[in-house]
Amino acid sequence: MRTQVAIIGGGPSGLLLSQLLHRRGIDTVVLERKTRDYVLGRIRAGILESGFVELMREAGVGARMDAESFTHEGTVIAYGDEEFGINFREHTGTDVVVYGQTELTRDLYDAREAEGGKLVFNVENVVINDADSDAPFVTYTVDGVEQRLDCDYVAGCDGFHGVSRQTIPLTVRREYEKVYPFGWLGILSETPPVHDELIYSWSERGFALCSMRNANLSRYYIQCSLSDSPEDWSDENFWEELKRRIPARHAEALVTGPSIEKSIAPLRSFVTEPMRWGRLFLCGDAAHIVPPTGAKGLNTAASDIHYLDHGLVQFYEEGDAEGIDRYSEKALARIWKAERFSWATTNLLHRYPDQSEFDLKMQQAEIAFLRDSSAAQKVFAQNYVGLPY
C-alpha cells in the first residue's frame, strides 16, 4: 500500500491531522493499535482553547461541538474557604469551550469513516523504517499478517507510549522530564456540576478540581498519593474528601451520586526535542506531556497539528518545504510556554510531601497576588485561553 502521509495513532492528534489533510486532497492512512471503541472509552480532557475550536471547524467537524458545547468565560480559584474568579473574556476577549475529548474524537472518527478515510485498527508491531531517507515505509501486522505502507512522510501521533519517539536515535533525541510526587484521582458522575464554572481549589488537604462535561455529567478530581489505587477509594470516601477540599458553600451545594468511571493519573511534565527527524514528525502526547492542571494536554496536541498541517499543505500545494523544515522549532516554542503554565499552576495549587512552612507561605502569597492583581489575572487568562499559534 502507498500513501502520502502515514499516521501512526488514531487518537485526537492523528485523526485531526488526517481529517485536515483530507480536506486539502492529501492522502493519509491511520494505523491504530486498538479499536475505535477502545479509544472512545478513554475519559480524558474536556476544555478546548478557541484555536482548537477553529481547527475543528476548519476540519469540517465543528457542527455537533458548536451545538452541544458550553462556553466558559472564566474560572474560579479557591483556597481554603475563600475564592475569587478570573474572567477570561474581560482580560483576553476570548473564552474556552467545554466539550469532552471523547465527543470530539467520536466526531473525528465519524467524519473520517463517512468520507472513506483509511483507518486500520488492531495493528501490531509497527516499525517506522528509513525515516531519515527519501523513501520511508512503515511495516506492521494485522491478524498476524505483515503489511507494508510506503509514504512520503510519517506523522507519529501514537501518544506517550508509542513507537514513533523511540524511532529517533538517542544521539539526536533529547528528553526533559519532571515527575510529580502525587496523582489525580478522577471520577465521572451523572450529577449536575456543582458550579457553572470550573473550580480549581487549593486546600490544606491537597488540590481538588470541580469540572464537568454537560448539565448532567460532572468530572471531579482530588490530588492523591501515588501509592493509592482507585479501589482504595469508595465513592462515599471520594465525595467526603472532595467536600473537605472546596469552600463550604460549594460543599453544601454538591450533588453526589454513583461514579460511572474512576481512575488515577500520575502527573508528569515531559518534552522531547527535536520533534522532527528526517521524514518523521512527532505530534501531541508522542512528543510532550503536561500535568493536567490548566488543561493543556489536548490543546498542545492541536497546535502541533496546526503547524504540521500547514507545513504539509505548503509543501504539497506550493512545493515549499519551509513549513515542514520549521515544524519542530515552531511547535516547541509554543509547547514550552504551555509546559511552563501547567508546571506553574501545578506548583501553585498542590500540596507537596516535602513542602516547608516557607514554601507554603510562598504558595499563599502567589495565590493572594493572583487574587489582587489584575495584571496577574490577565497573564493567567492569556495562558488559559491559549497562546496564539
Which residues of the chain form contacts with ligand APR (CB under 6 A)?
8-14, 31-34, 39, 44-45, 101, 123, 126, 157-159, 161-163, 284-285, 297-298, 301
What residue number has its CB nearest to ligand PHB? 211
**Residue 13 binds which of ligand PHB, ligand APR, none (CB < 5-8 A, kind-dependent):** ligand APR
Under the criterion CB under 6 A, does residue 291 sit at the interface with ligand PHB? no
**Residue 123 binds which of ligand APR, ligand PHB, none (CB < 5-8 A, kind-dependent):** ligand APR
- Please state, in angstroms and rounded to a whole number, the distance separating the CA atoms of residues 165 and 171: 13
**Residue 284 binds which of ligand PHB, ligand APR, none (CB < 5-8 A, kind-dependent):** ligand APR
Contact track, ligand PHB, 200-229, x by CB under 6 A = -----------x-------x----------
- Minimum Å gap between C-beta 252 and ligand PHB is 22
Among 47, 108, 271, 313, binds ligand PHB (CB under 6 A): 47
Matching residue, cell 462535561? 213
218 close to 193: Cβ distance less than 8 angstroms? yes
Matching residue, cell 468511571? 261
Residues near 388 by beta carbon (within 8 Å), at least 6 away in sequence = 51
- Please state, in angstroms and rounded to a whole number, the distance separating the CA atoms of residues 283 and 165: 10
Site stretch for ligand PHB (CB under 6 A), options 44-52, 81-89, 169-177, 371-379: 44-52
- Please state, in angstroms and rounded to a whole number, the distance separating the CA atoms of residues 90 and 378: 9
Q: How many residues bind ligand PHB (CB under 6 A)?
A: 10
φ/ψ region of 130 (left if φ > 0, alpha if ψ in -120 to 50, else beta) reads left
Where would I find the beta strands (DSSP E) of 124-279? 124-129, 137-142, 145-150, 153-156, 174-189, 199-202, 208-214, 217-224, 259-273, 276-277
| 239 residue type, one letter | W
**Residue 292 binds which of ligand PHB, ligand APR, none (CB < 5-8 A, kind-dependent):** ligand PHB
Nearer to ligand PHB, 340 or 361 (CB): 340
Under the criterion CB under 6 A, does residue 294 sit at the interface with ligand PHB? yes
Indicate the SS3 state at residue 165. Answer: helix
Under the criterion CB under 6 A, does residue 295 sit at the interface with ligand PHB? yes
Residues near 70 by beta carbon (within 8 Å), at least 6 away in sequence = 97, 98, 99, 212, 214
- Minimum Å gap between C-beta 42 and ligand APR is 7
- Minimum Å gap between C-beta 45 and ligand APR is 5
Q: CA-CA distances (angstroms) from residue 178 to 261, 313, 334?
A: 27, 35, 18
Nearer to ligand PHB, 138 or 295 (CB): 295
Nearer to ligand APR, 45 or 332 (CB): 45
Nearer to ligand APR, 126 or 367 (CB): 126
How many Å is the Cα radius of gyration of the chain? 21
Nearer to ligand APR, 206 or 294 (CB): 294
- Please list the residues that pair with 156 across neighbouring strands: 8, 282
Under the criterion CB under 6 A, does residue 69 sit at the interface with ligand PHB? no
- Please state, in angstroms and rounded to a whole number, the distance separating the CA atoms of residues 286 and 17: 14
77 close to 86: Cβ distance less than 8 angstroms? yes
Site stretch for ligand PHB (CB under 6 A), options 41-49, 165-173, 299-307, 368-376: 41-49
Among 46, 193, 206, 386, binds ligand PHB (CB under 6 A): 46
Q: Tell me the three cell numbers of residue 299.
A: 490543546
Q: Tell me the three cell numbers of residue 6.
A: 502515514
The catalytic site residues sit at 72, 200, 292, 296, 384
205 close to 171: Cβ distance less than 8 angstroms? no
- Minimum Å gap between C-beta 198 and ligand PHB is 6
- Please state, in angstroms and rounded to a whole number, the distance separating the CA atoms of residues 88 and 379: 10
Nearer to ligand APR, 101 or 363 (CB): 101
**Residue 2 binds which of ligand PHB, ligand APR, none (CB < 5-8 A, kind-dependent):** none
Binding site for ligand PHB (CB under 6 A): 45-47, 198, 211, 219, 292-295
